[in-house]
């Protein structure tokens, strides 16, 4: 697997900056951004008595972010070998306005009413730079959403009915959104700056010290000898690394170059190999303890402890990965895929002996979070320090942390962070408009009115909205936007708050594999040399439980660890069995190839088993009926010898 790993390393490298100026400045700007985030998360600034507030420091980081984006991302998709004058001006202006606010922010915040012109001018420039940076990095989709909300800020009073809102004066609009702590510099940016940047650094250090190879080798050692072992390696490896990476697309790009060729070599078709990798990589965003940084955002927005989020997310994530694992196994049985060749399977003892230290940061992370009750950023920092020390002493697959590699980790942390920072700034602007105009109340009231008649209708409508709004957007942007727009109506109708937040996260992420804009599936299709739309449709088939399980934990919170232990265990067990039988029906194989009648029977019975008995008063009858149907179908299958499909 060394040749494949080498390809993975090469694909991870970012393209060179577009101009000599960008090549000279970007590494220093990116490393400075990462160092500021790590320094602030460490708490040293408070310990030594620096009289700075978080929003003030964020302004400086925003200045670095503007400079990096405008130096490296051209105004159009045309390749430019020189830095355009307008990009140079925008980069300088962005850097200058950020650091001007760094020094001026405390005064502006204190006396904003007495300096309306300065506040509105600075706010206007900051918002304009944010909007263009958002277009260059996240695309037109998210910018259109921002424009729509901005237009509502001016003309909301003209909207009739429930959605009528307060209009905002032009000067107040720019000063409030650009300066106030409830808008651009609000919760989203604070969370990203104080927490997410540190976790990105932890992921970079793990990646460049050989962590991705270690997780892949562990998966190969554990799963390689079983039927369809190559796909199971992809599922386990992508789940382990996807939780850290924070991006379904980057997870596909980093692990897919290893796992997709392995699956193709094992006998899976290009379409199925790409689909399995896309689904497994997307699931990393819901896999505790890190959940691609979503856990920390959820803890803040849902106003609960981070530990509560992790506990609530465990069973749904397990159901997700168990379903993908089972379907990979059933697909292998259907087309006769054998285990991975023995010479390609590393010995588990050798893998653990060489890479045991990669487990240390996770032990430290969980220990400091759950036993020492440390904040997430401190826990991540301790984990990062541990792997920095151990990775510089030990090596895995000839990968060892050195000072030059640590410098690369800092640079990459800054480069990766800028997209998320800009998205956080845009999310802050949207939140500010929602609060200032009263639109958040109007949306909640309208959706609650819909849900009063039928909760299922509201859940279905919310799921569709989440998938549509999530199309083409990274995880952080998806969750921020949906948590603000879609969770409150569900909570108002009595849905458990964490269940509501997980619901919108799941369906937002499903946009990564759902046509027509399925970024993770399209990326995997490119690596597998398969048709993008066919791969996306296959990914939806393999990821089908993720479209159903969120409804289940909303209706029966046992699946998010709410309730008695026995009820939780029963709900989880029946869900696993239901997924197994329904998956057999979708794949067309259980112990042998299934006839169309048996496939339909297994699907009906499995879906019946999936419904928790606590969902509604008659649910237990459906569950018992589903179990009976599955048992009957299984016995019938065992009696059949020659099945014609």
Whether residue 623 lies inside any domain: the answer is yes
What pLDDT score was predicted for residue 9?
40
Whether residue 26 lies inside any domain: the answer is no
Separation in Å, CA 569 to CA 318, 563, 566: 13, 10, 5
Average pLDDT, the chain: 84
Whether residue 291 lies inside any domain: the answer is no
Whether residue 63 lies inside any domain: the answer is no
What pLDDT score was predicted for residue 378?
86
Contact 546, 318 (CB under 8 A): no
C-alpha angle 534/538/539, rounded to 5°?
Answer: 115
What pLDDT score was predicted for residue 12?
43
Q: What is the residue-wise DSSP string for 559-593?
A: GGT-S-HHHHHHHHHHHHHHHHHHHHHHHTBSSSB
Whether residue 520 lies inside any domain: the answer is no
What pLDDT score was predicted for residue 122?
92
Give me 514's structure tokens: 């759902």
What pLDDT score was predicted for residue 453?
63
Task: Give the residues of the chain that fall short of pLDDT 50.
Answer: 1-15, 642-645
Q: What is the pLDDT of residues 176-222, one digit of tens each?
A: 888 888 889 988 888 888 887 888 898 889 888 888 788 888 888 88
DSSP 285: G
What pLDDT score was predicted for residue 15?
47
Dihedral angle computed from the Cα positions of residues 159, 162, 163 and 167, in that order, rounded to the nearest 10 degrees = 60
Residue at token pair 């060489």: 354
Task: State how many domains the chain has.
Answer: 1
What pLDDT score was predicted for residue 245?
61
- The residue length of the chain stands at 645
Whether residue 595 lies inside any domain: the answer is yes
Contact 185, 428 (CB under 8 A): yes
Dihedral angle computed from the Cα positions of residues 502, 504, 510 and 511, in that order, rounded to the nearest 10 degrees = -150
User: Percent helix, strand and coil across the chain, each rounded to 5?
Assistant: 80, 0, 20
What pLDDT score was predicted for residue 66?
96
Q: How far apart are CA 461 and CA 444, in angstroms?
A: 13
Whether residue 204 lies inside any domain: the answer is no
Whether residue 370 lies inside any domain: the answer is no
260: left (phi over 0), alpha (psi -120 to 50) or beta: alpha
pTM of the predicted model, to two decimals?
Answer: 0.78
Cα of 535 vs its chain's centroid, Å: 20
What pLDDT score was predicted for residue 3?
34
Q: What is the pLDDT of residues 153-178, one digit of tens each?
A: 888 878 887 778 777 778 788 888 88
What pLDDT score was predicted for residue 474?
65
Q: What three-state secondary structure class fits 341?
A: coil
Q: How far apart are CA 56 and CA 103, in angstroms?
A: 8
Q: How far apart are CA 221 and CA 348, in angstroms?
A: 5
What pLDDT score was predicted for residue 4?
33
The domain in which residue 586 lies consists of 563-645
């Amino acid at each position: 697997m060394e040749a494949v790993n080498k390809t993975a390393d090469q694909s991870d490298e970012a393209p060179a900056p577009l101009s000599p100026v960008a090549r000279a400045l970007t590494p220093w700007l990116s490393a400075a951004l990462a160092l500021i985030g790590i320094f602030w998360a460490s708490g040293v600034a408070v310990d030594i008595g620096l009289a700075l507030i978080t929003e003030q420091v964020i302004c400086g980081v925003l200045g670095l972010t503007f400079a990096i984006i405008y130096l490296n991302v051209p105004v159009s998709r045309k390749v430019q070998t020189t830095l355009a004058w307008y990009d140079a001006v925008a980069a300088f202006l962005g850097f200058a306005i950020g650091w001007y606010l760094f020094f001026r922010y405390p005064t502006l915040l204190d006396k904003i009413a007495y300096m309306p012109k300065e506040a509105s001018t600075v706010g206007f420039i900051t918002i304009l730079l944010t909007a263009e940076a958002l277009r260059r990095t996240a695309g037109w989709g998210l910018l259109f959403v921002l424009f729509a909300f901005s237009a509502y800020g001016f003309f909301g009073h003209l909207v009739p009915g429930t959605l009528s809102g307060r209009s905002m004066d032009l000067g107040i609009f720019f000063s409030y959104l650009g300066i106030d702590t409830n808008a651009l510099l609000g919760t989203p940016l604070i969370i990203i700056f104080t927490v997410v940047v540190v976790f990105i650094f932890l992921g970079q250090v793990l990646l460049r010290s050989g962590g991705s190879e270690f997780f892949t080798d562990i998966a190969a050692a554990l799963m390689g000898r079983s039927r369809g072992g190559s796909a199971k390696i992809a599922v386990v490896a992508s789940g382990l690394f996807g939780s850290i990476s924070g991006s379904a697309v980057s997870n596909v790009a980093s692990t897919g170059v290893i796992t997709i060729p392995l699956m193709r070599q094992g006998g899976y078709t290009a379409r199925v190999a790409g689909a399995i990798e896309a689904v497994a990589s997307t699931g990393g965003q819901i896999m505790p303890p890190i959940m691609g940084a979503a856990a920390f955002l959820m803890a803040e927005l849902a106003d609960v402890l981070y530990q509560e989020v992790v506990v609530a997310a465990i069973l749904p994530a397990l159901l997700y990965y168990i379903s993908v694992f089972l379907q990979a196994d059933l697909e292998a049985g259907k087309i006769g895929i054998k285990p991975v060749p023995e010479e390609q399977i590393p010995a588990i003892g050798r893998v653990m002996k060489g890479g045991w230290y990669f487990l240390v940061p996770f032990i430290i992370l969980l220990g400091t979070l759950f036993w020492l009750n440390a904040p997430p950023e401190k826990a991540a920092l301790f984990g990062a320090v541990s792997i920095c020390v151990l990775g510089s002493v030990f090596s895995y697959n000839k990968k060892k942390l050195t000072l030059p590699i640590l410098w690369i980790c800092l640079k990459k942390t800054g480069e990766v962070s800028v997209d998320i920072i800009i998205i956080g700034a845009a999310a802050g602007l949207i939140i500010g408009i929602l609060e200032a105009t009263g639109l958040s109340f109007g949306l909640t009231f309208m959706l609650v009115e819909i849900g009063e008649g039928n909760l299922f209708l509201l859940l279905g409508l919310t799921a569709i909205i989440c998938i549509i709004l999530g199309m083409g957007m990274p995880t952080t942007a998806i969750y921020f936007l949906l948590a603000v727009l879609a969770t409150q109506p569900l909570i108002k109708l009595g849905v458990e708050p964490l269940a509501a937040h997980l619901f919108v996260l799941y369906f937002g992420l499903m946009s990564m594999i759902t046509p027509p804009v399925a970024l993770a599936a399209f990326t995997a299709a490119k690596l597998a040399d398969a048709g993008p739309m066919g791969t996306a449709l296959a990914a939806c088939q393999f990821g089908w439980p993720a479209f159903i399980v969120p409804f289940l934990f909303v209706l029966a919170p046992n699946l998010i660890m709410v309730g008695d232990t026995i009820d939780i265990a029963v709900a989880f067990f029946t869900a696993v069995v239901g997924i197994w039988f329904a998956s057999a029906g979708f794949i067309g194989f259980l112990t042998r190839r299934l006839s169309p009648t048996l496939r339909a029977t297994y699907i009906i019975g499995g879906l019946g088993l999936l419904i928790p008995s606590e969902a509604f008063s008659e649910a237990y009858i459906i569950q018992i009926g589903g179990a009976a149907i599955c048992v009957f179908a299984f016995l019938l299958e065992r009696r059949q010898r020659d099945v014609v499909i």
